[in-house]
Amino acid sequence: MSKQIGILTAGGDSPGLNAAIRGVGKSAQGTYGMRVIGFRDGFRGLTENRTMRLEGDSLSGILTKGGTILGTSRDKPHKMLIGGKRQDMTDAIVETYEANHLDALVCLGGGGTQKNALRLKEKGLNVITLPKTIDNDVALTDTTFGFDTALGIATDAIDRLHSTAHSHHRIIVVEIMGHRAGWLALGAGIAGGADVILLPELPYDIEKVSEAIRGRVKSGKSFSIVAVAEGALSVDQASRIAKLQQDLLNATDKAEHKALKALIAEQESDYADNTLRLSRQLEQLTGLESRVTILGHLQRGGTPSATDRLLGTRLGTACTQLIADGRYGVMVAARGEGTEPVPLEQVAGNKKLLPPDHPWIESARMVGTSLGD
């Protein structure tokens, strides 16, 4: 009997999701004669058994589209907001899986989705995941789909900001997404020729940043582009957070644990304004005028790049082959030209951050870019 598979997209959307849905769907139906059911809006739609037909024509014409035809949400199976309260909806998910006679569930998502998928695997479901996110921070895969498109958009933005910064002799601080990882800011910063790049993995010293900008002024360059990752922290901020996290690890008392968690959340929400703060500090320290551009969700929108369409298709079709072979409980990782199944236990809870000796960091330094450290 042919297999029946479910598919959903979870977490923030990412260019290339539709290419991956199409890759799974077309190969499952065309090559193996499997049946495919889409679930809407991530794990919430799975809980509520809200489905979408993914047969025949419904998979045509979506390769070039941004977003996800299935819709997405940041809901977690074990902590879903229902009527104002967080509830564990895992049993409802198992019910949906059984009611639809699924042989496998494909979850397309980033780091959080890998953790949620592992939880479902532990409940006995045949789960398989694909790594998507513009942040490129999923562990044990060479890359994730969405990253290349976002890299192109952020690079284009830096290119455009150059001419206006130059005309007005200004600093332009451009904030680039990436959550707590610096891949996108570093990649776009190098490709766009930013003068300063600030990354979450390398806490910055504001004096060093302003020194780099003043140095440019001395050499006749009266404008500067500062590419800052949304998760970048100053040396002081990073050490404050690290200390609180250490205290949290050592906390034995429940109340103390709760208080420390609240304190960390408070600090982090204060640091959410870092880009504006940085711009103001640079104005004071350099005497130049400074402007802020926050690229935000522009980086996730619109047509996926050729690279992301190709990656989504490669991972999607490899996923179907694994299902045909009965290999579950894995993430389909991109590895060189090919793909590799990696056990979910190894991926979940791990993040791929930039190592301080990464070749991109070395290249940035060698072309004279300040990393503020």
Nearer to ligand F6P, 15 or 316 (CB): 15
Residues that bind ligand F6P (CB under 6 A): 12, 110, 133-135, 177-179, 230, 300
* Smallest separation, CB 76 to ligand F6P (Å): 13
Give the span between the Cα atoms of 20 and 211, in whole angstroms: 46
**Would you call 80 helix, strand, or coil by DSSP?**
strand
Nearer to ligand F6P, 12 or 182 (CB): 12
CB 132 within 8 A of CB 14: yes
* Smallest separation, CB 69 to ligand F6P (Å): 18
Query: Would residue 142 show up in a list of annotated catalytic residues for this protein?
Result: no
Give the span between the Cα atoms of 224 and 214, in whole angstroms: 10
* Smallest separation, CB 134 to ligand F6P (Å): 5
Supply angle C-alpha 62, 94, 346, rounded to 5: 75
List the end-to-end C-alpha distance of the chain, in Å, as a whole number: 60
Q: Write out the two tokens for 103.
A: 């042989």
* Smallest separation, CB 154 to ligand F6P (Å): 11
Give the span between the Cα atoms of 60 and 137, in whole angstroms: 30
φ, ψ (nearest 5 deg) of residue 42: 65, -145
Nearer to ligand F6P, 25 or 178 (CB): 178
Give the span between the Cα atoms of 361 and 208, in whole angstroms: 17
Out of 135, 137, 148, 195, which one is annotated catalytic? 135
Pairing of β 127-131 and β 171-176: unpaired
What is the separation of C-alpha 1 from the centre of its chain, rounded to a whole number of angstroms?
Answer: 37
Give the span between the Cα atoms of 195 and 222, in whole angstroms: 12
Nearer to ligand F6P, 180 or 327 (CB): 180
* Smallest separation, CB 221 to ligand F6P (Å): 30
Nearer to ligand F6P, 288 or 348 (CB): 348
Q: How far is CA 332 from CA 159, 194, 318, 335, 353, in A?
A: 34, 34, 7, 9, 19
Nearer to ligand F6P, 23 or 178 (CB): 178
Residue 217, judged by CB atoms within 10 A of its CB (0-12, 13-18, 19+), counts as: middle
Give the span between the Cα atoms of 189 and 184, in whole angstroms: 8
* Smallest separation, CB 130 to ligand F6P (Å): 15
Catalytic residues: 135
